[in-house]
Structure formats: structure tokens, C-alpha cells
Structure 1
Amino acid sequence: MADQAPTPQNPVDGSFRDPIETVTVRRSPRYGVFLVLGAGLGILVAMILTFAFNGTDQVSTSGVTYSDTQVFGFLALFCGAGGILLGGVVALVLGSMVGRRTVDVRAEHAVVRTQD
């Protein structure tokens, strides 16, 4: 029989454990990046819509005339929220597609001591 090395003792709490374990790694998208990109895309769409249609020359039904900045603000509010929603949906779909692929890897425990 081959000699096996004894399981090392953890210097922190004195327990014995196997330093190498098998863990499952799953990739997932960064949801914040997708939300920010969706918001940016929504604001870009709002800017395009603001300057593509010249509706500020007409008086609204309430008798108020809106400036280009006000129109952009209203559109940015709705298009930005829609872009965030769209970015979140895309991230969830990609997360479910990529999340199916998992990889088993070996991980080693390491104890690092520092002196403060």
C-alpha cells in the first residue's frame, strides 16, 4: 500500500480537512452592465426621437408649447426605463443559456496569515 500523506491540520481552528475539493463553476452575465447598456441605448433612442420629429412648433391640447429639452427629458424617462427592462431581459436569457454549462474544477484551500 502506498503511504498517504496525513490530512493537514488547519492552523486557524485546529480542524482537519482535505485541502483539495471539487467545486462546480457556473458562468453568469454581469447584470449591472446589461442594465447600464440598456439605459444608454434607451437614452440614445430618446435623443434620436427628439430630433427626428419636429413637434415642438405645435401647441399641445392644453395650450402649452414644450421645448426640445423637455421633450427629450420625457422621452429619456420612458425610453431609459424601457432600455433597462430590455437589458435585464437579455441578461436573464443569456444567463439561462450560459448557466446550463457548468464545469467541475479542483480547488485548493489556502490559509494566509498576515501580521498587522
Structure 2
Amino acid sequence: MTAEHRIETARLRRSPRYAAFLLVGAGLGILVAVLLTFLFDGTAEPSATTGVEYSTSQVFGFVCLVCIPVGLALGGGVALVADRMLARRARNVLVDHERVTDPAE
């Protein structure tokens, strides 16, 4: 067996998990939608524009259509800012790269 050693330089940096930030943003969007739906009762009287009386679940759905994308955008923005801040702390490290070969093969 022969072994080759080679020292290389690699850049080490941390990165946020974007999926986690987006899920938290969507969850906060749903929470805000629930709060807006039940704190401001818009189902007590018919709509002034359409004359239709909407149920609480319909109002919740309409509010979710706005709050979830806004929550996703905010979560993604926070992840991008965190990524930029963590990129400043990146550092170079030395890595020992070893390659072992078997002459029988």
C-alpha cells in the first residue's frame, strides 16, 4: 500500500439552515393570522363590497393568504442576514488530505 499526504487549505464557515428559518416564518405567519382572525371579528356583518357574510374559517383562510408569504419572506430575510454575519467569521484551516492506494488492484 502506498499513501500520499497532501496538506490543503480549506475555508471553514457556518451557515444557517434556511428550511428551519422558513418554517418558523410560516409558523409565525399562521399565528399572526389566527390572532388577526379572532381579535378583529370581521364576520359580524356582511361585507360592504359583496354583501356576503363570511365565516370565521373563510376569514382565517383569506388572512393566511397574506400572512404566510410575509412570514416566509421575513424568515428568509433573517436567514440571509444571519448568513452574511456568519460569513465574516469564516476562517482558513489546514486539512491533511491522504490518499491510500492498493497496488494489488
Shorter-chain TM range is 0.7 to 0.9
Over alpha carbons, which structure has the higher Rg?
Answer: 1
Larger relative contact order (Cα-Cα within 8 Å, sequence gap ≥ 6): 2
Tell me the equivalent position of 2:10.
23
Against the structure 1 CA distance between its residues 111 and 40, is the aligned structure 2 distance closer, same or farther, given a 3 Å change threshold?
farther
Q: TM-score, normalised by structure 1?
A: 0.76
CA contact (8 A) 2:42 2:59 kept: no
> 2:59 aligned with 1:71, yes or no?
yes
Higher strand share goes to which structure? 2
Counterpart of 1:8, as a letter, is: A
Q: Provide the aligned C-alpha RMSD in A.
A: 2.1
Tell me the equivalent position of 1:101.
89
Counterpart of 1:102, as a letter, is: A
CA contact (8 A) 1:8 1:19 kept: no
Q: TM-score, normalised by structure 2?
A: 0.83
| Secondary structure at the counterpart of residue 45 of structure 1 | helix
Task: Give the paired residue count.
Answer: 99
Against the structure 1 CA distance between its residues 46 and 110, is the aligned structure 2 distance closer, same or farther, given a 3 Å change threshold?
farther
CA contact (8 A) 2:3 2:99 kept: no
Aligned residue runs from structure 1 range 1-116, under 5 A:
8-9=3-4, 18-60=5-47, 61-109=49-97
Q: Percent identity?
A: 55
Tell me the equivalent position of 2:103.
none
The one-character-per-residue Cα deviations of 1:52-99 (angstroms, maximum 9, x if unpaired) are: 011101111211110000000111111000000001111111111111
- Which residues of structure 2 form unaligned runs of 5+? 101-105
Counterpart of 2:20, as a letter, is: V
